Amino acid sequence: MTAGKYVINVGRIIKMENDAYKDLSDGEVLDIIFSKFDIDDVGNATERLMSKIDTANNYKKFLAHVLYEDALRTSKAELQEVSFFQEETTENWTLEQFQIQFVKDQISFFESDNLENEVEETWEKIK
């Protein structure tokens, strides 16, 4: 929901100063979203969009599962080497805490677009 130059997001108000789309109408924004998700049938567009969002969320869960399985095969010392935390912070962590934090850190790293170019190159090779 938009209100002037603010977005109301789950009880928070976020100022949209740097939003490239701030001057677009709701309909124009929806057109962009539907286009981004390859939705051209407006008859059931919302249902299809929600389905695609659910699929994206499932992919994130699949990734978390693969990362966690990888972490289960990794020692505490190996996890410390790739941890975003200093050893003083993690010295009292259990192996399970390290494994869970590893998954959270990796997903956060991926979501911050740090690997965008590499991921795009890989995708082009395998599709």
Predicted pLDDT of residue 4: 46
Over residues 14-58, the pLDDT tens digits come to 555 667 777 888 888 888 888 888 887 767 888 888 888 899 899
Q: In one letter, which amino acid is 103?
A: V
CA gap 104, 17 in Å, rounded? 29
Over residues 53-110, the pLDDT tens digits come to 899 899 999 999 999 999 999 999 999 999 988 999 999 999 999 999 999 999 998 8
Return the CA Rg of the chain.
20
Q: In one letter, which amino acid is 113?
A: D
Which tokens in the block code for residue 20? 């490239």
Which pTM value belongs to this model? 0.66
* Domain ranges across the chain: 55-126
The owner of tokens 């209100």 is 3
Predicted pLDDT of residue 18: 66
* Residue 121 phi, psi (nearest 5): -65, -45
Structure confidence at residue 127 as a pLDDT band (50, 70, 90): confident
For the four alpha carbons of 13, 16, 21 and 27, in that order, the dihedral sign comes to positive
CA gap 37, 114 in Å, rounded? 23
Predicted pLDDT of residue 31: 83
* Residue 74 phi, psi (nearest 5): -115, 140
